Chains A and B, each alone.
Chain A
Amino acid sequence: MKMKKNTLNNYQEFLFGPAHPASGNFSVRIKLDGERIVEAKSDPGYLHRGFERLMEYRNIWQNTVLSDRICVFEPIAWNLLFAEAVEKLANIEVPERAKYIRVILAELSRIQSHLIWFGGLSLATGFDTGFKIALGYRDYILDIFSEITGARVYPTGFICPGGLRKNLPLGIENKILKVLDKIKEAVSYFEKEDPVFESRTKGIGVLKLEDAIRLGTTGPVLRASGFLQDIRKSEPYEIYQETDFSVPVLKEGDAYSRFKIGLLEIEESVKIIKQLLNKIPSGEFLNKKMRVGMPFVLPENEVYVRNEVARGEGAIYIRGKGEVNPDRVKIKGPSFLHLIPVLEFLLKGAEIADIPVIYWSLNPCPADMDR
């Protein structure tokens, strides 16, 4: 940490991150008055890879692989979003079977992403066991991913325009059911009431509803402040309109209620997966007209596709110009808003010891902010 003392008004300046164990590839410049934060300024860009520009130089099959890397914690969700954007742009039909498998993968991805979130939040509150529990149980899901997509974390374009690259392996349904039992076990650990954890998170980083809407929050952060918004319900994609699930909403808007929303969402995701597992229809898993790696010309058109990824609203604007490469791709990650305006707003007036708690309660991912 770089310390700088300003003797004129007795403020201290220092950086939270990018080398702090709880910060990720991200830093905040903080001005302190004693223990209280006077001003916080987010300093993103440590992971800026220029994906939006890079995608203009790649064809769609290369871009599906690139789209994994938008977010480290939930590559499958971004993989799905990019595939949907291309499908909508070029009017590609997706077989029913692929849609079911996509939703199952997306929900598994949501669960594992929330588990990392809880791991980080536990670390931020000094509860190291929670971190180990969360990441340990997450590994069961990674084993499933490894079996289905061939890779534990990055599916390398498994969900591709037109469907999927491979079919489901035999007997995976029973394995997923067993993993869901394990997830229930993990949730039961986090459901236990812990006075220390509650005292570190309750009433910390309170985001009121009007501020939440004004600052552009989405997903669990907005729902913890009392607004029901879920793109799976309001603009259903894949087969979410046929599945039965509810969207949890809480009113308090503090770090604890954001954590609770995450727990409730895991339970809903488990419900969705259980519904779909018995109903996966047989048939094609990739559109017959599509072949992975084939030259594919994007038509002159533009679309804007939104998805509910684990952290909130993920969106892609894509524009074709009658060539193999897209003319322009714009990626909007939820953490772009959560980590810059929202975090700056919440840190102002907070205490120095609460920085990691507030940061992790927002379910951050520096990668989807920087892109």
Chain B
Amino acid sequence: MTETLISKIQSSFGAEVLKKEKNQIWLKISKKNLLNLCSFLKDNGFEFFSSLSAVDILEKNIIELIYHIWSEEKKIGLNIKTTISRKKPEINSVSEIYNSSQIHEREIHELFGVRFLGNPDLSELFLENWQGPPPFLKDFDWREYVREKFYNKENENEKEYFE
């Protein structure tokens, strides 16, 4: 049953099967087909949006997004991988199809700076009044940021205080 589903996904959405595990299948798909695939999966028993991961790959200048979707009926998890460019990190939101993905997208937006078009709320989540670049990107050196932003400043204040 799963074989027919996978071959259908391959033929109609141009997906590439990366690897197969016991309960998990890894797919790669271009970002154009993501919304269609998600609505197809929602209609075919994949009800649970488990989570959304992002990986920043500096060498290839891309951000990989991995959508983890689970079907309780089939006992299969699909890990759908899609890539977006680092220069223009934009992708259509799947929050209309999977409501629970809204909060995951909001988190990825804050930490990786990915814009999810069509997501109703992308306001700040964990970070308050954050001014710097998205903190989970690989080229963001948090050690340097903390040193500049906090340690030196504290010392300056101390200087003024003692003078």
Q: Shortest beta-carbon distance, B82 to chain A, in Å?
A: 14
B128: chain A residues at CB < 8 Å are 45
B72: chain A residues at CB < 8 Å are 227, 229, 234
Task: Evaluate contact between A315 and B99: CB separation under 8 angstroms.
Answer: no
Q: Is B116 an interface residue (CB 8 A)?
A: no
Q: Shortest beta-carbon distance, A248 to chain B, in Å?
A: 17
Q: Is A235 an interface residue (CB 8 A)?
A: yes
Task: Evaluate contact between B55 and A319: CB separation under 8 angstroms.
Answer: yes
Q: Shortest beta-carbon distance, A207 to chain B, in Å?
A: 13
Q: Shortest beta-carbon distance, A367 to chain B, in Å?
A: 13
B107: chain A residues at CB < 8 Å are 336
A200: chain B residues at CB < 8 Å are none
Q: B21 — nearest CB in chain A belongs to which residue?
A: A303
**CB contact under 8 A between A327 and B55, given known A44-B126, A370-B126:** yes
Q: Shortest beta-carbon distance, A26 to chain B, in Å?
A: 12
Task: Evaluate contact between A235 and B77: CB separation under 8 angstroms.
Answer: yes
B interface bracket (residues with beta carbon within 8 Å of A): 35 or more
Interface-central residue, B26, B47, B56, B70, by most chain A CB under 10 Å: B70
**CB contact under 8 A between A213 and B47, given known A53-B135, A235-B77, A340-B103:** yes
Q: Is A304 an interface residue (CB 8 A)?
A: yes
Question: Chain B binding site: helix, strand, loop or mixed by DSSP?
Answer: mixed
Interface-central residue, B23, B103, B111, B127, by most chain A CB under 10 Å: B103
Residue-wise interface mask of B (42-74) relative to A, using a CB-CB cutoff of 8 A (1 in contact, 0 not): 000001111101111000000000101010100
Total count of chain A residues near the partner, CB < 8 A: 32
Task: Evaluate contact between A48 and B68: CB separation under 8 angstroms.
Answer: no
Q: Is A332 an interface residue (CB 8 A)?
A: yes
B103: chain A residues at CB < 8 Å are 216, 336-337, 340-341
Closest 5 CB pairs of A and B: A216-B100, A45-B126, A332-B51, A330-B53, A48-B126
- With A53-B136, A215-B100, A306-B77 given, can you name 19 additional A-B contacts, CB distance below 8 Å? A44-B126, A45-B125, A50-B135, A50-B142, A214-B100, A216-B48, A216-B99, A218-B48, A227-B72, A304-B24, A306-B50, A317-B66, A317-B68, A319-B55, A330-B51, A330-B54, A336-B103, A341-B99, A341-B103
Q: Which residues of B contact A (CB under 8 A)?
A: 21, 23-24, 26, 47-51, 53-56, 66, 68, 70, 72, 75, 77, 79, 98-103, 107, 111, 125-128, 135-136, 142
Q: Which residues of A contact B (CB under 8 A)?
A: 44-45, 48, 50, 52-53, 213-216, 218, 227, 229, 234-235, 302-304, 306, 313, 315, 317, 319, 327-328, 330, 332, 336-337, 340-341, 370
